[in-house]
């Protein structure tokens, strides 16, 4: 399935139906009184968060959405049928913004959370409403109100227990594929991943969700590379797994570059718990692995977990630690 995390759409709630200017017609009654019913209300535009969706791709192919109009009132004081609400399903984690793409209307963070974004118009009044002691046969009736209509932006921020971050080509997609049931595209060149991938890992009957965030480079917070459009997905992740290619010559420098991009985008990102993982240990000797880990750990003051996603080394330990981060 193709991934889309942003879409601009036009929504139009239904107009209210017109009231009826009707008069009672009965046998032997020449001048019946007014009996025009009210118009039905227009349908509203309702958004609901669906846990089974993970992309906004449906909004790429259709950008205009209209709810049903209310029906006009009828004689015998019959109110017109109200228009049916239009319910639009979006993934959990979708934010709804005004047309400026900056003013937040609603943040749908819980499954089945619902919000009316555009209200349908009220139905017009039938002439029976205008009957009075001085006007026994009113011909006045009113039209229904217009339904609300405007452009909005939808933005999806992936929600996951663990967000996997790192430099391009550090093996994030490979790690996700061996830890979970996800099948991301994997190749040996930068920016293979151009969209976040989600997967579920199981360990001791406990589940965690992981998101493979596309590789970050210097200046990502300003949109360089694949840019800040991916950084926003990390905001929703509860914890961060920082994956590093142990074969790199500049481990500390590359680690610092990613951390700086997180800080520049939002200081809140650096407050998330972080687990540091060295990948590709199958490509160098044990002596070199230990040396690099010692130098790095002394500088960063954090525990390092060595693995090989390719050879499936160290994965059980990683799963156990990730479960601790989420459930303990």
Domain boundaries, the chain: 1-156, 162-327
What are the tens digits of pLDDT across the range 127-142? 999 999 889 889 999 9
Question: What is the third-level CATH fold of 1-156?
Answer: Spo0b-associated Gtp-binding Protein; Chain: A, (2.70.210)
What are the tens digits of pLDDT across the range 75-101? 999 999 999 999 999 999 999 999 999
Residue 34, helix vs strand vs coil: strand
Chain position carrying tokens 């405007």? 150
- pTM assigned to the model: 0.71
Q: What is the pLDDT of residue 190?
A: 41
Chain position carrying tokens 């200017």? 21
Helix runs in the chain, H state only:
58-61, 172-179, 228-234, 251-265, 286-300, 315-327
Secondary structure letter of residue 82 according to DSSP? P
Task: Quote the CATH superfamily of domain 162-327.
Answer: P-loop containing nucleotide triphosphate hydrolases (3.40.50.300)
**pLDDT tier, 270 (very low <50, low <70, confident <90, very high otherwise):** confident
pLDDT average, residue stretch 172-185: 76
């Amino acid at each position: 399935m193709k991934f889309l995390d942003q879409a601009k759409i036009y929504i139009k709630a239904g107009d209210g139906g017109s009231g009826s200017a009707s008069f009672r017609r009965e046998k032997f009654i020449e001048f019946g009184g007014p009996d025009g019913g009210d118009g039905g209300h227009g349908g509203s535009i309702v958004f609901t968060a669906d846990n089974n969706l993970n992309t906004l791709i449906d909004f790429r192919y259709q950008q205009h959405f209209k709810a049903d109009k209310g029906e006009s009132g009828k004689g015998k004081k019959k109110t017109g049928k109200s228009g049916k609400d239009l319910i639009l399903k979006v993934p959990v984690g979708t934010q709804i913004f005004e047309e400026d793409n900056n003013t937040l209307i609603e943040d749908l963070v819980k499954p089945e959370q619902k919000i009316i974004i555009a209200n349908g118009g009220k139905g017009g009044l039938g002439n029976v409403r205008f009957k009075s002691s001085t006007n026994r046969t009113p011909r006045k009736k009113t039209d229904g109100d217009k339904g609300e209509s405007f452009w909005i932006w939808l933005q999806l921020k992936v929600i996951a227990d663990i967000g996997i971050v790192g430099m391009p080509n550090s093996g994030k997609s490979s790690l996700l594929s061996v830890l979970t049931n996800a099948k991301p595209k994997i190749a040996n060149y930068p920016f293979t991943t151009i969209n976040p991938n989600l997967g579920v890992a199981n360990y001791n009957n406990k589940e965690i969700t992981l998101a493979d965030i596309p590789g970050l480079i210097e200046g990502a917070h300003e949109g360089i590379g694949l840019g800040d459009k991916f950084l926003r997905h990390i905001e929703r992740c509860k914890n961060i797994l920082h994956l590093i290619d142990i074969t790199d010559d500049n481990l500390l420098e590359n680690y610092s570059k990613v951390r700086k991009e997180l800080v520049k985008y939002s200081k809140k990102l650096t407050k998330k718990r972080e687990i540091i993982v060295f990948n590709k240990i199958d490509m160098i000797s044990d002596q070199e692995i230990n040396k690099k880990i010692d130098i790095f750990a002394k500088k960063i003051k954090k525990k390092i977990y060595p693995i090989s996603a390719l050879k499936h080394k160290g994965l059980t330990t990683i799963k156990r630690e990730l479960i601790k981060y989420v459930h303990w």
